[in-house]
Amino acid sequence: MFQYIVRRILWGIAMLFIVSAVVFLIFYILPSADPAVLRAGRNAGPAQIAQIRHSLGLDQPVWRQYLNYMGQVFLHFNFGYSYQYNVPVRQLILNRLPATIWLTVGAVIIWLSVGLTIGIVSAIRRRSILDRTTMTGSLALISAPVFWLGLVSLYLFADDIGVWKIFPGQGAFAAASNPLQKAEAMILPWLVLAAATSAIYARYMRASMIDTMSEDYIRTARAKGLPERTVIRRHMVRSAITPIVTLIGLDVGTLLAGNAILTETVFNIPGVGRLLYNAIGVSDLTVIQGITLFGAFFIVFFNLVVDIAYAYLDPRVRYS
């Protein structure tokens, strides 16, 4: 078990390096704007631009820039300064992270509770009307683009522009001042983000449950005379849920890494996804790199947690 964990951690660190190198390379080959000119401002002469380029370290070879950067990150936890705002990148990211965390945590809770429950119930009442309705409905939710769902929900329920003025609308999270207001402002984003994912989880859980149901040990448990509810809870769900666990890790990790960009855009939430999108648009390399590293870290971390949990739940994994 210990060996397994150590191996996974080492691989995680290697992945951080690989990912940041790839991002560096992509940015170098395909820049969208010239950061030195951006920094220099208007009416800057070529001499001034060259001077700024030098002070930003952009005239050095790529590999040297990369090594400098990684050195700063790992030795001093210094992610550099944003070209656009001239503020430490670490500060920028940490400022934006809370919004994304709010969004992710709420959405995860909803999609786990709703998705898994529906999956379990649908599996148990297989081929009933309930089952058919939930499975068709879930397909519909998966098929709707999440940004469109967000816009439609705003059109219907936002308290400023909606048909029925129920929930706070766009930009409410940024304007909220206490946790209660923030949670209120997040209700629509949570629902929208969780909608498609809970549908996916419902389907997976259902399939996994059906798989488990046909196993021999379930038959044995029933034959032993255990009440059905205990059979479900202690045997079926526990083993059906194991493959889902890996999925959770991946989803949470990628959301924190900026995958919630569509929801953040539609609802105007000042999160990490939006920051990354803006930074890419203006070639703010340090911010891009910083978010990528943070993001990769989250993905690695959650995958690790999930792998360990999986190994704990399913001993066969440890010896692979």
Partner 1 sequence: MSVGVPDIILDETDVGAVDLVSDEIEARSPWELFFKRFREDKFAIAGAIFLTVLILAAIFAPLVVKLVGATPPDQIDPNSLDIFGDPTGPSSAHIFGVDQIGRDVFSRVIYGARISLLVAFVSTAITTVIGVFCGLFAGFYRGWVDTVISRTVDAWLAIPYLLLAIGLASACSFGNGCVGGLIKPGVPVVIAVIAITSWTYPARIIRGQVLSLREKEFVDASRSLGASNFRIIIKDLLPNLTAPIIVFASTFLPTAILFEAALSFLGVGVQPPTPSWGQMISDASPNIATQWWYMLFPGLALLFTALAFNFVGDAMTDAMNPRARRR
Partner 2 sequence: MRSRSRLLGVLLPGLLAMASLGVAACGSSSKSSSASSATSTNSSGQSAAVSNEQAKFPPVVTAPSTAVKGGTLTVIANGDVDYIDPGAAYYQPTYMIDLAADSPLMGWPPNDTAAPVPLLASGQPVVSNGGKTITFHIKPNVHYSPPTGGGTGWTKPVVSQDVKYAIERGLLPGVPNGYVTLYFSDVNGLAAAQAAVKKDPKVAPNWSGITTPNSSTIVFNLSKPSSIGVIDALSLPLSSPVPQAYAAKYDSQTPSSTYGQHQIDVGPYYISAYSPGKQITMLRNPNWTPGEDFRAAYLDKIIVQEGFSDENSAVQKILTGTSMVNFDFDATGEALKLAATQYPHQLTLTPSGGNRYVALNTQKPPFNNINVRKAVNAVTDKVALLATRGGPLSGIVATHYIPPGIPGFQQAGGAAGPTGVAYNFNQYPTGNMTLAESYMKKAGYSSGKCTGNCTITMVSDNTPPGSNTAQVLKTQLTALGFNVQLHPVEHATMYTKFCSVVANEPNICPNVGWVKDFNDGQAMIDVPFNYATTQGSPTNNSNWPQLNDPAVNNALAAAKLITDPTARAAAYGKIDDMIVATAAAIPWDWDYETNVASSNVLPVINEFNGLTDLAFTSIKGG
Which positions lie near partner 1, rule CB under 8 A?
11, 15, 18-19, 22-23, 26-27, 29-32, 123, 126-127, 132, 135-136, 139-140, 142-148, 151-152, 154-155, 161, 203, 206-207, 210-211, 213-214, 250, 254, 257-258, 261-262, 265-266, 273, 276-277, 280-281, 288, 291-292, 295-296, 299-300
Positions of E strands within the chain: none
Q: How far is the CB of 157 from partner 2 (least distance, A)?
A: 15
Q: Which is nearer to partner 1, 54 or 132 (CB)?
A: 132
- The helix/strand/coil state of 184 is helix
CB of 60 to partner 1, least distance (A): 21
Q: Is 167 in the site for partner 2 (CB under 8 A)?
A: no
Instruction: Let me know how many helices (H) and strands (E) the chain has, helices first.
Output: 15, 0
In degrees, rounded to 5, the angle at the alpha carbon of residue 289 between the alpha carbons of residues 76 and 44 is 100
Among 29, 47, 129, 223, binds partner 2 (CB under 8 A): 47
Distance CA 55, CA 202 (A): 53
Does position 55 interact with partner 2 (CB under 8 A)? The reply is yes
Q: How many residues bind partner 2 (CB under 8 A)?
A: 39
**Contact of residue 10 among partner 1, partner 2, none (CB under 5-8 Å per partner type):** none
CA gap 72, 68 in Å, rounded? 6
286 binds, among partner 2, partner 1, none (CB under 5 to 8 A by kind): none
Burial of 272 (0-12, 13-18, 19+ CB in 10 A): buried
Interface with partner 2 includes 9 (CB under 8 A)? no
Place of tokens 């951690």: 9
Q: Choose among partner 2, partner 1, none what residue 34 binds, the Cβ cut-off being 5 to 8 Å by kind.
A: partner 2
The string over 64-83, giving b where at least 16 C-beta atoms fall within 10 Å of a residue's C-beta and e elsewhere, is ebbeebbeebeeeeebbbbb
- Find the part of the chain contacting partner 2 (CB under 8 A) among 33-41, 60-68, 196-204, 303-311: 33-41
Are the C-beta atoms of 184 and 99 separated by less than 8 Å? no
Instruction: State the DSSP code for 316.
Output: G
> Which entry of partner 2, partner 1, none binds 151, CB below 5 to 8 A by partner kind?
partner 1
